[in-house]
Amino acid sequence: MALRTERDGSTGVALVTLDRPARLNAIDLETAGELSALWRELRFDETVRAVVVTGSGTRAFCTGIDRGVEVPQPPSPYAVDDPLLRIGPKANDLWKPVIAAVEGMACGGAFYLLGEAEFVVASREATFFDPHTTYGMVSAYEAVAMAQRMPFGEVARMALMGTAERVSAERAYAVGLVSEVTEPGCAVAAALRSAAVIAGYPTEAVQGTVRAVWSAKEAARAQAMAQAPALIALGNLAPERQAELFAGRGAGGKPRVR
């Protein structure tokens, strides 16, 4: 299993941990399937009233899709299969509050999870970036997800600067992506404290509030997401060329952190 799930019956909180530290918690097809199944399972678990999602270790929360994975694509220019589209709680109709706890890097496909969390707690050493353009890929779903949380200019800069620049936890806090910054190693504990408070409130009121907050932005988000497949199909380089660019990662030197 690529996930660890710990449920605390005394608080009503579940801690979900991406457990692939050797791969910087990158998501392969198995992990994607496990995440989808877990969110659907938690819909029916009345002992869980709030969830914290994090990554194993301190190097990374998640670095998106595992580059070693081959994703079969339909033989049609009008369809793009993205295995990460169903890894988030909202994509699986889970409306219990989810808090993301970030240590280390969060990049690329990590935004599918961060974008569907109610809020994000991050260690002071956490960084956020979107590598798509560097490797000849369109940032579509990821940029749309972040556009629901950050000002337009910040989203555009992060998506366009690729691997050359990373957003610090302090900057992420300043622009609204992160709601709390902790000392290194303390993000999970802080997120669990908040989750326990929320889980202690009446369930119907909490879940109704989650739905209300999401309804404020869901129409625009759905319209934007609908444009993504065509943009990806038109703008992505061939997988072989992407792989060549990825193989040369790090050649540009250490990224700037702002």
pLDDT band at 115 (very low <50, low <70, confident <90, very high): very high
Domain 3-68+83-184+194-204 belongs to what topology?
A: 2-enoyl-CoA Hydratase; Chain A, domain 1 (3.90.226)
Whole-angstrom distance, CA of residue 64 vs CA of residue 177: 18
Is the pLDDT at 209 greater than 90, yes or no? yes
Is the pLDDT at 42 greater than 80, yes or no? yes
Q: Comparing 29-38, 139-148, 225-234, which segment has the lowest mean pLDDT?
A: 225-234
pLDDT band at 249 (very low <50, low <70, confident <90, very high): confident
- The pTM score is 0.92
Is the pLDDT at 48 greater than 90, yes or no? yes
Is the pLDDT at 253 greater than 90, yes or no? no
Whole-angstrom distance, CA of residue 180 vs CA of residue 156: 23
A 10 A CB-CB count for 211 gives: 11
Task: Give 97-149 as a 3 state SS string.
Answer: CEEEEECCEEECCHHHHHCCCCEEEEECCCEEECCHHHHCCCCCHHHHHHHCC
More confident residue, 247 or 79: 247
Q: Is 9 helix (H, G, I), strand (E, B) or coil?
A: coil
Provide the token pair at 54. Answer: 């994090």
β partners of residue 62: 106
Q: Comparing 78-82, 146-150, 206-210, which segment has the lowest mean pLDDT?
A: 78-82
Per-residue model confidence as pLDDT tens digits over 20-40: 999 999 999 999 999 999 999
Identify the pLDDT of residue 222. Answer: 85
Round the average pLDDT of the chain to a whole number and report it.
93
